[in-house]
Amino acid sequence: MLNEPSGHRRNLFEVDNARNLSRHELVETFIPTQSFWRLLSAKHHVLLGARGQGKTALAKMLSHDHLALLAQTRDEPRAQSAVRGQEFIGIYLPTRLEWVGGLKNKFWLNEKEQEELFQWRLNIASCIAFIPVASSCICTYVDGRAKQAQAERELTKLLSKDWVIEHNAAFEDLLQLRRHLEDTDYWKEIRIVRERARGTPLSGDFPVGLAFDLELFTPLRQGIRHLSRLLSINPACTWLLCLDEAEFLGVMHQRIINSHMRAYPDNLFIKLSTMPYCHYTLATNIGPELVPGEDFAYVNMDSDRVLTARTRGEADTIGTRFGRTLFRKLIEASDPQILTGGDQSPDQGPPSVSDVLGPSEILDPWRERWEADSPNMQILEKYGSAETIARAHKLLGSPGFRFAIGRKINGPLLLRKQVDELKGNKALTAYSGARMAIRCADDNPRRMISIFNALLMLRSREQKRRMATGRRAPWISAEDQTRAMRTLSASILNHYRSFPEVGPELHAFICMLGEYMRADLHDKPLTTDQVTSVMITDTISERDWHLVCVAVGQGLLHPNVGSGNPDEMPWREGTFHLAYALAPYFFLLPRRGKAAKLTAIQEFHRMSLKQREGLWASQLAQTSLFDEGREP
């Protein structure tokens, strides 16, 4: 197997992408979600997930070598049944930037030639991806080294006969065959450039990879057939071809894959992973368009109910528990050195994320104490709107107070006070604590790992300092955590200035939303509802809609999808909340709030300071006409 561990454990907080994890590392740290189990089915799927949401982890985990290890090392009955019963065999095939870059640079080819080239390259790539899966199947389903070697030799012979038809090739094993296929792909590229440079098509005496000129996935099906016969694979086995990173493909490429989904309802099913709004077309090359729900189904990872739901009696959402579990798994699978010099004794076991980061002063409920002259009430009287203060006094002491006022306004008040008092050397502490770190990751594993890593690096520095001074403290200071969170938040936004095609516009668009939300929280008397979402209608311009789509794909905006059909992405109208990852940058509370219309935000953006003050005053006057504090 490739990428196998050498026995050395890395610091997995340094690896925020499943692509760069070895098989053992990924299997050890993988947390199966509902989306994952949905993909393990005999159906074509298009998996939608923002950048960093874990699409690659899911796609890789479906491949047989990973699933077999999961079944072997973890108590996962569904994986065990899929592998032992030969119910599903998955093949992982990334269509990443470098691969697609070799397709899109042939600008001189006409559409037919481009289609043929894509089909040829996808054919050979799928066969190359099949080879490690075939090895894994032989290891899993054939007993004894000698028989395994014999099966591999036999399979190599069969595959060579089908896949290498230009000359008589004799390969010892699958690795040799695979290297030959990689060379073939390279020589195909060279042949095309050679033809371009010479200005004439090459004669037939230089054939390259003729076997892959066949219809899409025909060579792969030949391979599947040989392997199935050789190992007597369950005839009812479903083969899954996981095409990862399809956002890099073009419309024409996706149309060809769509055609396959439409035309082949047999035992090979496509799992196409891409970003939201990056399944660019439903068109096919065989007439009718694909029909979602019939020809295939969308699986929207961003609305994965496993992450957003809350189990009865639990303080944490399952997403928060996911974050805590991920932290524990990364600690357990990492080099123990990352914890040395810490405060825990060896027999205490690894620390939890709460041990390391402590509580959140803004999000954890333990500080919510409200009495007539309590500090909380004093802050409310300073920053709250007249209506909110009056309502708070009216409800104070009643059972409804916490639900109608306290729970909603406590966090915003504490944040507002801190930001208001921020001057000189005084440091902000609001963005600290385990719950805050996890919340600001938007249930996005890559973001979560980046945040954990940044904070663990702080911990490491802090420990060295403490050891030098002999001072002990239970966790990283809230000031340091907040500083790190704000730096990360700014860095996420800044990276988008150069983003392909829309960089400066996207950056300005997100800043416009964030600035409006910041002003809503910090510049006007507080009510129990803060704006953290934007509402768009079908009057939105093409350009703005494109920016919304890109922002959703990048995980900068999240659609508030309905619980009735969580896999359906909103189209040109709907409500989107700003990523919590950007909350520290804009001084926002990472919590779902009410929405403002995009047109209102754009109008606000064009206003002078004086006009904005006038706007807040008029809005407050309107608010007082309604019964404030109800659920939006």
Residues engaged in binding another protein (CB under 8 A): 2-3, 14, 17, 19-20, 51, 94, 96-99, 101-102, 104-108, 125, 128-129, 132, 182-183, 185-186, 189-190, 193-194, 196-199, 453, 491, 494-504
**Beta carbon of residue 70, minimum distance to another protein (angstroms, whole number):** 19
Nearer to another protein, 14 or 332 (CB): 14
Which helix (H) or strand (E) is 575 found in, with range? strand 574-578
Tokens of 79: 């994986």
In 3D, which of 305, 331, 327, 328 has the Cα closest to residue 318? 305
Nearer to another protein, 20 or 348 (CB): 20
**Beta carbon of residue 228, minimum distance to another protein (angstroms, whole number):** 22
Collapsing DSSP states into helix, strand and coil, what is residue 248? helix
Nearer to another protein, 509 or 516 (CB): 509
Nearer to another protein, 107 or 366 (CB): 107
In 3D, which of 303, 235, 338, 368 has the Cα closest to residue 560? 303
With beta carbons less than 8 A apart as the criterion, state whether 148 and 138 touch: yes
Start-to-end CA distance of the chain, whole Å, equals 53
**Beta carbon of residue 480, minimum distance to another protein (angstroms, whole number):** 18
**Beta carbon of residue 502, minimum distance to another protein (angstroms, whole number):** 8
**Beta carbon of residue 469, minimum distance to another protein (angstroms, whole number):** 27
Nearer to another protein, 199 or 470 (CB): 199
**Beta carbon of residue 131, minimum distance to another protein (angstroms, whole number):** 9
Which helix (H) or strand (E) is 434 found in, with range? helix 434-439
Nearer to another protein, 187 or 264 (CB): 187
In a 13 Å sphere around the CA of 68, the CA atoms on its Cβ side amount to: 20
Tokens of 543: 């350009």
Nearer to another protein, 335 or 343 (CB): 335
Nearer to another protein, 409 or 455 (CB): 455
Which helix (H) or strand (E) is 389 found in, with range? helix 386-395
Nearer to another protein, 52 or 319 (CB): 52
**Beta carbon of residue 242, minimum distance to another protein (angstroms, whole number):** 13
Radius of gyration over every alpha carbon of the chain, rounded to an integer in angstroms: 28
**Beta carbon of residue 125, minimum distance to another protein (angstroms, whole number):** 7
Nearer to another protein, 43 or 51 (CB): 51
With beta carbons less than 8 A apart as the criterion, state whether 543 and 505 touch: yes
Tokens of 136: 């894994």
Question: Tokens 């077309």, residue?
Answer: 281
Nearer to another protein, 132 or 433 (CB): 132
Tell me the backbone φ, ψ of residue 534, rounded to 5 degrees: -125, 140
Characterize the bridge pairing of strands 88-94 and 238-244.
parallel
Render 293-315 in DSSP notation, one character per residue.
TTTBEEEEGGG-HHHH---TT-S
In a 13 Å sphere around the CA of 410, the CA atoms on its Cβ side amount to: 22
**Beta carbon of residue 26, minimum distance to another protein (angstroms, whole number):** 13
**Beta carbon of residue 91, minimum distance to another protein (angstroms, whole number):** 11
With beta carbons less than 8 A apart as the criterion, state whether 605 and 515 touch: yes
**Beta carbon of residue 199, minimum distance to another protein (angstroms, whole number):** 6
Handedness of CA 456, 457, 461, 462 (dihedral sign): negative
Handedness of CA 415, 419, 425, 427 (dihedral sign): positive
490: amino acid identity, one letter: A
**Beta carbon of residue 248, minimum distance to another protein (angstroms, whole number):** 8
395: amino acid identity, one letter: L
- Interatomic CA distance for residues 198 and 519, integer angstroms: 63
Nearer to another protein, 21 or 39 (CB): 21
- Check residue 111 and give left, alpha or beta (phi > 0: left; psi -120 to 50: alpha): alpha
- Interatomic CA distance for residues 51 and 552, integer angstroms: 9
